[in-house]
Amino acid sequence: MKPVKWFVPLFVLFLSVLISGCINYEQKTVLNSDGSGTMKIHYWAKSNNIMGDEISGFGFTEDKAREKFSSSNTQVSDVKIEEKKEDSTKHVYLDLKFKDINKLTDAKGFSKIKASWQKGKEGMEFVYTLLKDTANSGFGMKDYKLIYEFEFPNEILSSNGKIEGKKVTWNKTLADLNQDVELKAVVKSEKKCGIFGIELPIIILAGLIIRYRLRYRK
The phi, psi pair for 111, rounded to 5°, reads -70, -20
User: Tell me: the pLDDT tens digits for 164-214?
Assistant: 999 999 999 999 999 999 999 999 998 765 554 555 556 666 667 776 666
Q: How far apart are alpha carbons 65 and 76 in whole angstroms?
A: 9
* pLDDT at residue number 212: 62
3-state class of 193 per DSSP? Answer: coil
pTM for the model = 0.80
Cα dist from 23 to 51, 59, 182, 203, 205, whole Å: 13, 11, 19, 58, 62
What is Dmax (Cα atoms) for the chain? 114
Confidence of residue 135 (pLDDT cuts 50, 70, 90): confident
Dist. CA 6–CA 43, nearest whole Å: 35
For the cut 60, the answer to whether the pLDDT of residue 6 exceeds it is no
pLDDT of residue 15: 37
Q: What dotted CATH number matches 2-187?
A: 2.60.40
**Is the Cβ–Cβ distance between 67 and 59 less than 8 Å?**
yes
Q: What is the pLDDT of residue 17?
A: 38
How many of the other CB atoms lie within 10 Å of CB of 16? 11
